[in-house]
Structure 1
Amino acid sequence: MRVLLVCLAGLLVCLQTADSHSLPQKDYETDSSKHDITIPLNDTSGNNSSSVPDNSSGNLDSNITTFIVRYVYRKDKKESMGIYAHKNGKIKKILEDGLAVSDWSPKSRTYLGNKDGIYVYDTETEKLEKYGNLSDSIIEIVKENRTDDLYILTEDHVVYKVTEEGTKKIKVNEAEHAEKIALDWDENLYYIGANNQPYIIASDGAKKIEGLPANPTSASISRPPITIEHGAWFMCEKQPYIIYPNATSEPYVFNDQEKLEYEKRNRAVEAIFLQVWNQTEE
């Protein structure tokens, strides 16, 4: 399933971009403290191949839709500047107040989190529709692998499981003060809580993942690459880890082929990054 290899590359590129390839910052208001672009890359074509496109130029497959979330921080609060879709070299804004894109879309439907609930974007027809009847302001959204159930993280840092085609939500009480959420391929739910520490939601409550740096300055979490069958992907201090349902962890070391794929994705994503910047700043 090509989606996760591409999504992984997007995650790493975002981290590297923030450190060493930052675009010029623009002051939108006097209380604007940060401006960034996050690029989760999804292959929503329904292609279940585990291979990565072999493109020596570093370009992504033209059939892949790339979703770009633009935002600024104002008074320590993330505010949306819109979600954009990039496909076949073209970029268009698809949602005005969105902050979240689901990381797993085996079909052509990708779920988006907005300030007034959930939307679904069809990458084949390029049409956007409201999904369900929820009105929560959503900052993170993930989809289960085997069902159409979703998990959302709201602006007030509450996690819900969303079922029945977006019409019912159940609070996940174990996830306290969540900042980010992720699922693994076995549908285990993880979240990042206080001090950038990850937790696994187990049958007897939330458990802190052991074996990680005590106080990382930044952290991210996502579904792992398809080559990793169990656990979630955790990145902190530029070091990737695999975190497991038994609350353990281990560092992940890229092999030579993965490094090559990453460099190719890096070039392609940076080109999209600059295209979005130039188009939206005109």
Structure 2
Amino acid sequence: MKSLLYITCLLATVLSSNVKLNKETFFKNAHLVFSSKFNITQVMVPVESTHYIPSDVKDKPSIFFTVSDPTTDKGSCIYILEGFAAYEVLEGGRDTTADYGQDNTVYFGARDGIYKYVPDSFGVQKFGSFDDDIIQLQKAKGQDVIYFLNTEHKLYKIENNGTLRTRIKDVICAHEFVLDTSNNIYYLACEDRLPRILRTDGSLLGVVSSLLENDIRDIKLIRPAFLMEDSIPFFGDNALYILYSNGTSDRKDFQLEERPSAVSVDSTLYIVVAINGKIYEFDVMDMLLGSMFGFTSSWPADIAKIVMAFIETTKVHLGYVNNHKLNVVLPPQLADA
């Protein structure tokens, strides 16, 4: 928690005082790391991503991503991007997940069940005894539980090392879903594709009224950064929002003309965005250090807005609720960290 506080305070301090924003284009060739003629439907940067690829010198975390390829029999494939080289991992794979904690196991959801990643061979091994046709999955934080959504839009959880499967009956039909770091379930109901929340205490929250008031219809849920609590980000009609587990939401000062097909903010300090078959990476820590030591005079304004959105959300849980201008001063116990 000490290091988390330090990083959050450091980011807030630099963003609020040392960074001059300008109108640079968000998606620039300098940030392009992969390109495909097919759509990229999912990207993920695990929190402990430095453990996935054997390497003596590793500058960038591994990026797992899914390419939708209608020309193949299985229709999709999961790859891992190491530097600028992409390696095929699982044909027929659709989604990737990993825990927020120290367990660095990566799991894949595929047409015939769940698989575990084998880093030494860029291969996989079957996990569990079930062969569900999976379109989405997510590992629960700190638990031996993986939630998955099948092609019938029914939500299940699998536990006990993949031997027990249970239907989440409160979620009748889900178009997509995501967990926050407290393992609350946020999902888009099939009937209207608006969010509902199934909280860990078993209570079910209906449609978020503020979203109805703003007439938001096109929603894409995003797996939250590890330092967010009881909340998730999402794109609503190309604008960025934060949805909280109590059913409230906030719109952030960020909007794209075209919504990305996939986004990863799993570590906050490393943002990956897929759009139009291309993957762009934004190493926020490099930008931060460059700004601190004078290597660059400005950040892309949109990147700063994304980081600010997560910092504002995190500060609520770190005791900075009343500091609206983000003029954060490091506490004495952190100054020497």
Q: Which interval holds the TM-score relative to the shorter structure?
A: 0.5 to 0.7
Q: 1-side partners of 2:247 and 2:86: how far apart?
A: 40
Gaps of 5+ in 1: 3-15, 26-34, 48-60, 255-260, 276-282
Please say if residues 44 and 64 of structure 2, whose CA atoms lie closer than 8 Å, have aligned partners that are also in contact.
yes
Q: 2-side partners of 1:172 and 1:274: how far apart?
A: 34
Identity score, percent: 22
Task: State the TM-score, normalized to the length of structure 2.
Answer: 0.57
Q: 2-side partners of 1:125 and 1:253: how far apart?
A: 43
Please say if residues 175 and 206 of structure 1, whose CA atoms lie closer than 8 Å, have aligned partners that are also in contact.
no
Residue 278 of structure 2 aligns to a residue in which SS? Answer: helix
In the other structure, the counterpart of 1:212 is 211
Please say if residues 156 and 166 of structure 2, whose CA atoms lie closer than 8 Å, have aligned partners that are also in contact.
yes
In the other structure, the counterpart of 1:57 is none
Residue 212 of structure 1 aligns to a residue in which SS? Answer: helix
Q: 1-side partners of 2:82 and 2:122: how far apart?
A: 10
Please say if residues 233 and 240 of structure 2, whose CA atoms lie closer than 8 Å, have aligned partners that are also in contact.
yes
Map 1:196-235 onto structure 2 (within 5 A): 196-202=193-199, 203-213=202-212, 216-235=216-235
Please say if residues 44 and 65 of structure 1, whose CA atoms lie closer than 8 Å, have aligned partners that are also in contact.
no
In the other structure, the counterpart of 1:64 is 61
The alpha carbon displacement at 1:97 in A equals 0.6
Please say if residues 219 and 234 of structure 1, whose CA atoms lie closer than 8 Å, have aligned partners that are also in contact.
yes
The alpha carbon displacement at 1:108 in A equals 3.1
Residue 211 of structure 1 aligns to a residue in which SS? Answer: helix
In the other structure, the counterpart of 2:44 is 41
The alpha carbon displacement at 1:67 in A equals 1.3
Please say if residues 190 and 201 of structure 1, whose CA atoms lie closer than 8 Å, have aligned partners that are also in contact.
yes
Q: 2-side partners of 1:131 and 1:116: how far apart?
A: 11
In the other structure, the counterpart of 2:307 is none
The alpha carbon displacement at 1:236 in A equals 1.3
Map 1:172-211 onto structure 2 (within 5 A): 172-193=168-189, 194-202=191-199, 203-211=202-210
Please say if residues 109 and 123 of structure 1, whose CA atoms lie closer than 8 Å, have aligned partners that are also in contact.
no
Please say if residues 177 and 188 of structure 2, whose CA atoms lie closer than 8 Å, have aligned partners that are also in contact.
yes
The alpha carbon displacement at 1:84 in A equals 0.9
Please say if residues 198 and 204 of structure 2, whose CA atoms lie closer than 8 Å, have aligned partners that are also in contact.
yes
Please say if residues 185 and 198 of structure 2, whose CA atoms lie closer than 8 Å, have aligned partners that are also in contact.
yes
Please say if residues 218 and 236 of structure 1, whose CA atoms lie closer than 8 Å, have aligned partners that are also in contact.
yes
AA matched with 2:84 = G
Query: Over alpha carbons, which structure has the higher Rg?
Result: 2
In the other structure, the counterpart of 1:116 is 112
In the other structure, the counterpart of 1:32 is none
AA matched with 2:234 = F
In the other structure, the counterpart of 1:237 is 237
Per mean C-alpha deviation after superposition, the further-off stretch among 102-111 and 167-176 is 102-111
Residue 150 of structure 1 aligns to a residue in which SS? Answer: strand
Q: 1-side partners of 2:68 and 2:195: how far apart?
A: 24
Per mean C-alpha deviation after superposition, the further-off stretch among 204-213 and 110-119 is 204-213
Map 1:129-140 onto structure 2 (within 5 A): 129-140=125-136
Distance 1:162 1:114, change over 3 A: same
Q: 2-side partners of 1:145 and 1:93: how far apart?
A: 27
Per mean C-alpha deviation after superposition, the further-off stretch among 240-249 and 148-157 is 240-249
Are 1:273 and 2:278 counterparts?
Answer: yes
Are 1:91 and 2:81 counterparts?
Answer: no
Distance 1:237 1:63, change over 3 A: same
Are 1:161 and 2:157 counterparts?
Answer: yes
Higher relative contact order (CA 8 A, sep 6+): 2
In the other structure, the counterpart of 1:55 is none
Deviations 1:165-218 (A, max 9, x none): 111111111112201111111110111113321110142435222311565453
Please say if residues 196 and 215 of structure 1, whose CA atoms lie closer than 8 Å, have aligned partners that are also in contact.
no
AA matched with 1:186 = S
Q: 2-side partners of 1:128 and 1:102: how far apart?
A: 14
In the other structure, the counterpart of 2:304 is none
In the other structure, the counterpart of 1:126 is 122
Distance 1:44 1:265, change over 3 A: closer
Gaps of 5+ in 2: 5-26, 51-57, 255-266, 281-337
Distance 1:24 1:119, change over 3 A: closer
Please say if residues 40 and 67 of structure 1, whose CA atoms lie closer than 8 Å, have aligned partners that are also in contact.
yes
Deviations 1:229-273 (A, max 9, x none): 22122211111211122222111346xxxxxx99x956x968x93
- Report the aligned-residue RMSD: 3.8
